Structure 1
Amino acid sequence: MRSIFLAGIATGQASFETEATLPQCWDDFTRSKHPESITVIHDDMGRIAAWGALAPTSTRYCYRGVAEVQLYVAPESRGHGLGARILADLIRFSETYCLWTLQAVVFPENRPSIQLFEAHGFRQVGYREKIAQMNGEWRDTLLFERRSPHIK
């Protein structure tokens, strides 16, 4: 999972992170996620080809049903529908565990991610101009969200 995250960082289009900040310990990694939401897909060699998870956006009770999507696909596995499979699993999880809103933050230049989220019912709800710096350069982000049609 760490190597896939690092490959995403290397593209400059997946995260503001510039180094792998994933904890070495599985317990530490899952502590910041809905642990049951962590989804992986293995390739034919048994290696992790894609992974995703949902992370609570806040510890406040009123936001208990809101989670951020984290989704990464290994470079050699991109373009084969793995991201769509992971995202579909995360949406199913969110419906099962009564999460009413899923959020995703995407760089405007990351067209494949934008298309993936839009294809799964996410809509752009925000544009954040110069929200943070990456390697000394200000970057914008788009905020996408999917509201559950089942949880009122």
Structure 2
Amino acid sequence: MDILIRTVNQGDLPSILRIYNQGIEDRIATLETDLKDLPFMEGWFEKHQERYQVIVAESQNQIVGWASLNPYNLREAYKGVADLSLYIEREFRGKGIGGKLLKEIEGIARENRFHKIILFTFPFNQLGQGLYQNKGYRDVGVFKHQGILDNKFVDVMAMEKLLINEEDTNEN
């Protein structure tokens, strides 16, 4: 399957919205429970400019996945840390698209002077964890009862990947 990875544009938002809503419906990728609409996604897109970029994976002129760099914490001390979002169209999960998106978004993160990417996933999302571990992300730990999903407490796992050598982060 030929996959083109490219920067998002305004016309991609309905496809990104559809894929994000699948993640909400499937209850495997986010604590969000309310489906989003196009005005929500347009506001989200406005916040993803400059360092906080979004990319899409396209196959035969169809968006089949997307990834974004998000602010982790607005404090100056965390300016080198990006939070990752990655969503794949249902029918295309497990076909290598996530790995291609990760490789590209990590390059973008390096270009934008991020030294680390963090992400949060559910411990029961084995497909996602396998992808991240295979691409060099390490388990940081599990937040017990971190959120509520469908009226039940759920745990959330934190993972991270350093993008540069530790010695390079010591700026004096």
CA contact (8 A) 1:2 1:20 kept: no
Identity, in percent, stands at 23
CA contact (8 A) 1:32 1:56 kept: no
Kindly report structure 1 stretches of 4+ aligned residues shifted beyond 6 Å: none
Quote the RMSD (CA, aligned, Å): 1.8
CA contact (8 A) 1:106 1:114 kept: yes
Greater gyration radius: 2
Evaluate the alpha carbon distance shift between residue 73 and residue 35 of structure 1 in structure 2; reply closer, same or farther with a 3 A threshold.
farther
Q: Which sits farther off after the overlay, 133-142 or 28-37? A: 28-37
Q: Distance in 2 between matches of 1:114 and 1:42?
A: 23
Given the alignment, which residue of 54, 68, 77 partners 1:38? 54
Where does structure 1 lack aligned partners over 5 or more consecutive residues? none
Q: Does 1:101 align with 2:133?
A: no
Q: Distance in 2 between matches of 1:20 and 1:93?
A: 29
Q: Distance in 2 between matches of 1:34 and 1:102?
A: 17
Q: Deviation at 1:35?
A: 4.7
SS of the residue aligned with 1:55?
strand
Amino acid at match of 1:121: G
Where does structure 2 lack aligned partners over 5 or more consecutive residues? 1-15
TM-score (norm: length of structure 1): 0.91
- 2:13 aligned residue: none
Q: Distance in 2 between matches of 1:120 and 1:81?
A: 11
Question: What is the correspondence of 1:123-142 to structure 2 with a 5 Å cutoff?
Answer: 123-142=138-157
Q: Distance in 2 between matches of 1:74 and 1:19?
A: 18
